[in-house]
């Protein structure tokens, strides 16, 4: 079977969970004897925009379309790109895949790609990694991290226009907000999104839904927000991500037991909750019980630009430096070795979440976790996981202190994953074959 994945990026350039999962699925399918290739945007480098570079990576054919960000891009460019569509159409014509599986199609790609894939004769699947199909921000959180109950063009346009506290210094932010409001009142001039722009986005994504044969939600938490409202019930399946556990099982601990080391691995975005760790560490460092104990937090990731460019600057306290170590991001396939340096993982997310890959990796590693009590985490973690209320730095400091005192360590008897890598690949192949044979799908829930 010829299978084409469409993704946000691919290792080693793509450094986050979606890219890691795409690699795991693609390599797993290739190991079963299928011809697998990947199409994704390349956001850096000097290549001409919309030029495509094809290489071989991890035994797969990788097609990268150059599409770096620019200050002149408009709201429409966040979900549509005629240039990317031309490149993708040419690839479909030359390679004729049987199945096109999307793990991303916005921000650097185009929402029309699933339609092009369907028109080429391929079967089309989309894995929903967030709420991007219904929410421009992706998490159903507004600029101030307040939950949103649903999308509506006028409300969404105001949300997209609203500048949050990390969008820049206050005087500049206020001036930009006034200008955005004024421009919106006269139609936006193509630069500031209005209700009409959000309606156009909705229409484009409705076309995406129509063109897609199956949507795969890794968690019921994601599925329940979209089922029957955005995605027809008969098109939606629930299947948790599957990762190859073996490298995590086999990686030996790489630091001594005299130091207890927590870890955060993820994007430096407000909804990921890194600032909660900062505040928890500040509390713990001032507590005489833990002041002289040997413990630290290792942070893997990199600051982001754009709307959250001032997030770290606004939340980081240099006095925490002895306890918090910044180690930058790492190539995704190095995750087992990065995690081997940890005794516990902290996942303090402030949004619903969707089976975070860091959580699945920690389960495979046998590492204890402190996680936010949100639906998309709770349904995939093993019994005994420590939960905190999202944003509760006091509770996080208490949980961290408990682990430091008790000396909680990696469990070499690893808990069962929500679904094994092999079973996940079997499930994907089952979907692909049923679609190609014209048979109805089966309801798959997490590891079933």
Q: Among 95-104, 239-248, 310-319, which is the least confidently predicted range?
A: 310-319
More confident residue, 68 or 123: 123
Q: What is the pLDDT of residue 56?
A: 96
Q: Encode 403-440: b = buried (16+ Cβ within 10 Å), e = exposed.
A: bbeeebebeeebeebbbebebbbebbbebbebbeeeee
User: Nearest Cα to 203, choosing from 296, 76, 314?
Assistant: 76
> pLDDT at residue 239 above 60?
yes
> Residue 448: which pLDDT band, with cuts at 50, 70 and 90?
very low
> pLDDT at residue 145 above 70?
yes
What CA–CA distance (Å, rounded) separates 407 from 260? Answer: 7
302: left (phi over 0), alpha (psi -120 to 50) or beta: beta
Mean pLDDT over each residue of the chain, to the nearest integer: 92
Q: Please, how many CA atoms are within 13 Å of residue 199, restricted to the half-sphere of its CB?
A: 4
More confident residue, 254 or 269: 269
In this structure, are residues 293 and 404 in contact, taking their beta carbons and an 8 Å threshold? yes
pLDDT tens by residue, 62-102: 999 999 988 777 899 999 999 999 999 999 999 999 999 99
More confident residue, 193 or 191: 193
> pLDDT at residue 443 above 60?
no
> pLDDT at residue 361 above 80?
yes
pLDDT tens by residue, 432-441: 999 999 866 5
What average pLDDT does this structure show over 407-434? 88
Q: What is the pLDDT of residue 150?
A: 82
Domains belonging to the chain, first-starting first, are: 2-158+194-242+420-437 (3.40.50.2000), 246-406 (3.40.50.2000)
Q: How many other CB atoms are there within 10 angstroms of residue 75's CB atom?
A: 21
Distances 422 to 31, 145, 194, 419 between C-alpha atoms, Å: 11, 37, 46, 8
Q: What is the pLDDT of residue 413?
A: 59
62: exposed, middle or buried (Cβ count in 10 Å: 0-12, 13-18, 19+): buried
Q: Please name every residue paired with 100 in a beta bridge, in sequence order, or none if there are none.
A: 4, 124
> pLDDT at residue 117 above 80?
yes
More confident residue, 313 or 101: 101
In this structure, are residues 360 and 346 in contact, taking their beta carbons and an 8 Å threshold? no
The percentage of residues in the chain with a pLDDT greater than 70, rounded to a whole number, is 94
Return the CA Rg of the chain.
22
Strand runs (DSSP E) across 161-247, as ranges?
Answer: 214-217, 236-238
What CA–CA distance (Å, rounded) separates 189 from 179? Answer: 12
User: Nearest Cα to 364, choosing from 317, 324, 411?
Assistant: 411
> pLDDT at residue 234 above 50?
yes
What CA–CA distance (Å, rounded) separates 437 from 423? Answer: 21
Strand runs (DSSP E) across 35-177, as ranges?
Answer: 35-42, 52-57, 60-66, 99-102, 123-127
Q: What is the pLDDT of residue 446?
A: 46
| pTM score | 0.93
Q: Which single residue is written with the structure tokens 């999962």?
A: 21
What average pLDDT does this structure show over 323-332? 89
217: exposed, middle or buried (Cβ count in 10 Å: 0-12, 13-18, 19+): buried
């Amino acid at each position: 079977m010829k299978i084409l994945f469409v993704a946000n990026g691919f290792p080693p350039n793509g450094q986050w969970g979606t890219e890691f999962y795409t690699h795991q699925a693609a390599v797993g399918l290739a190991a079963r004897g299928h011809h697998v290739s990947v199409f994704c945007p390349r956001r850096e480098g000097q290549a001409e925009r919309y030029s495509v570079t094809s290489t071989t990576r991890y035994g797969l054919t990788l097609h990268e379309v150059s599409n770096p960000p620019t200050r002149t891009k408009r709201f429409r460019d966040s979900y549509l790109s005629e240039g990317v569509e031309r490149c993708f159409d040419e690839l479909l014509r030359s390679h004729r895949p049987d199945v096109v599986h999307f793990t991303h199609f916005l921000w650097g790609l185009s929402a029309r790609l699933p339609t092009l894939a369907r028109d080429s004769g391929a079967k089309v699947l989309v894995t929903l990694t967030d709420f991007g199909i219904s929410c421009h921000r992706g998490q159903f959180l507004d600029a101030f991290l307040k939950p949103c109950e649903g999308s509506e063009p006028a409300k969404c346009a105001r949300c997209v226009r609203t500048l949050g506290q990390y969008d820049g210094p206050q005087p500049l932010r206020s001036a930009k907000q006034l200008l955005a409001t004024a421009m919106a009142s006269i139609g936006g001039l193509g630069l500031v999104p209005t209700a009409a722009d959000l309606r156009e986005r909705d229409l484009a994504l409705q076309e995406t839904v129509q063109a897609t044969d199956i949507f795969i939600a890794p968690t019921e938490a994601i599925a329940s927000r979209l089922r029957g409202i955005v995605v027809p019930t008969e098109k939606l399946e629930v299947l948790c991500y599957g990762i190859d556990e073996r490298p995590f099982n086999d990686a030996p601990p790489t630091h001594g037991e005299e130091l207890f080391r927590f870890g955060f691995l993820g994007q430096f975005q407000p909804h990921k909750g890194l600032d909660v760790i900062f505040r928890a560490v500040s509390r713990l460092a001032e507590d005489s019980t833990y002041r002289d104990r040997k413990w630290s937090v290792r942070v893997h990731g990199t600051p982001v630009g754009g709307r959250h460019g001032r997030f770290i600057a606004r939340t980081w306290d240099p006095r925490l430096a002895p306890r918090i170590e910044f180690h930058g991001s790492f190539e995704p396939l190095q995750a087992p070795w990065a995690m081997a340096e940890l005794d516990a993982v902290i996942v303090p997310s402030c949004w619903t979440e969707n089976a975070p890959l860091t959580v699945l990796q920690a389960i495979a590693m046998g590492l204890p976790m402190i996680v936010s009590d949100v639906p998309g985490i709770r349904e995939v973690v093993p019994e005994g996981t420590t939960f905190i209320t999202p944003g509760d730095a006091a509770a996080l400091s208490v949980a961290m202190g408990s682990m430091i005192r008790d000396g909680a360590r990696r469990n070499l008897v690893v808990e069962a994953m929500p679904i094994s890598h092999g079973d996940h690949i079997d499930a994907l192949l089952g979907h692909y074959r049923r679609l190609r044979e014209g048979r109805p799908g089966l309801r798959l829930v997490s590891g079933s």
